[in-house]
Amino acid sequence: MNSKKLLVVGDFISGSGLTQFIFNVFPYFDKKKFDIQCVGYGIDSKQETNIKCKKLGWHLDRVIPVTKNPLKHVKWWKKFFKKNDFDYIYFNYSSSWNYMPLKLAQRYTNAKIVCHSHNSYYSHSFSNKMLMFLLDKLNSKGQKIFNKKADLKIATSKDSALWMFNTLDNVTIVNNGIELEDFKFDNEARKKLRNKLNIADNDKLFGFAGVLQDRKNPIFAVNVFATYVKRHPKSYLLIIGKGPLKAKIEEVSKELKIDDKIKFITYTNELNKWYSALDILIFPSLYEGFGLVPLEAQVSNLLVLASDKVAPQVFVTKNINKISNFDKDTWDKVLENLKFKTVQQRDGIDHSLEKFDVKRQAAEISNLLESEK
């Protein structure tokens, strides 16, 4: 049996949740059944995703980003699809406004088109009202095209399905999956990483992990921590991520006089280990397609405070607390009533998380593709 040619399209950016999904899932596809090739529409200055693709035996091309040069972006796709044909083209997107690659794929190839929605709002938005108006118009048109043209529609949650396709009809909801063993609590890693930050065993280490942009709401996390640390001075906040709001976070921290309590890590490929080092994770996103970070944290038996914008299926264990507003006093009250876990209490993996094993997700998606004859 000849393997099927599968093109995986994604941002392929270090630290991106969408990219992490790709690297979590597709390596488990049967190599005898699928020959994987990739196209990245993002810019990865570190080239780490290029290296990872090479190790996996995947050829990765990069298209000129549509935000850099829309005309050249479209021309690149047109030339690419005229030159290459596939059995499946798997688009991983966070919104629908850039629909031209899908239309070109359908025009110039014989591939089955798969669209997978990973978010419930734009990854990036504009403060300019006219630009947002135009973006909304494009996105609305894209929703109709994606819904009509895709042979297979997949979403990480109902919200992300409605965001990309404007309907739940014929959309398959597939949970994001993770390597459970990789996120299991590791006491040795905890000691090593806390020592690296000069955090004592009895100090409380808060964590925020995500891109430092408005939708992830990091400044709110800083304000929640600022209220708590006034009563509990032996507490620290570790912010893991990079993005346009870093300077603003530093400014707010100084204004609140807690800048000596906040530590930054721009990027790490050991986020799984850092969960073990933390005592609690703050995840106040304004919108989420799923919410992989709070799911991973639960595997480590880490306490989590998350907004109700995270997908409902992520609230799995007793370790995660859902908060339905963005009032810092409400979050502070929940914090004050929490009982922090001991190292011994964080051992093992809650059985209710087994359904998120990435091997199950890979098998489910692979079966969906094979059903599209």
**What CATH number is given to the structural domain containing 104?**
3.40.50.2000
Residues of the chain with pLDDT under 70: 1, 373
The predicted pLDDT at position 190 comes to 97
For residue 93, give its domain range.
4-177+357-371
Number of structural domains (the chain) is 2
**Tens-place pLDDT, residues 152-199:** 999 999 999 999 999 999 999 999 999 999 999 999 999 999 999 999
**Tens-place pLDDT, residues 230-241:** 999 999 999 999
Structure tokens given for 61 = 């091309």
Are residue 81 and residue 221 in the same domain, yes or no?
no
Are residue 127 and residue 184 in the same domain, yes or no?
no
The predicted pLDDT at position 350 comes to 94
Are residue 231 and residue 332 in the same domain, yes or no?
yes
Are residue 348 and residue 199 in the same domain, yes or no?
yes
Buried b (16+ CB within 10 A) or exposed e, 214-231: bbbbbbbbbbbbbbbbee
Are residue 194 and residue 131 in the same domain, yes or no?
no
Are residue 277 and residue 142 in the same domain, yes or no?
no
Backbone φ and ψ for 116, nearest 5 degrees, come out as -120, 115
Are residue 350 and residue 367 in the same domain, yes or no?
no
The predicted pLDDT at position 129 comes to 84
Are residue 146 and residue 264 in the same domain, yes or no?
no
Question: Can you give the pTM of this predicted structure?
Answer: 0.86
Residue carrying structure tokens 């000129």: 64
The predicted pLDDT at position 1 comes to 63
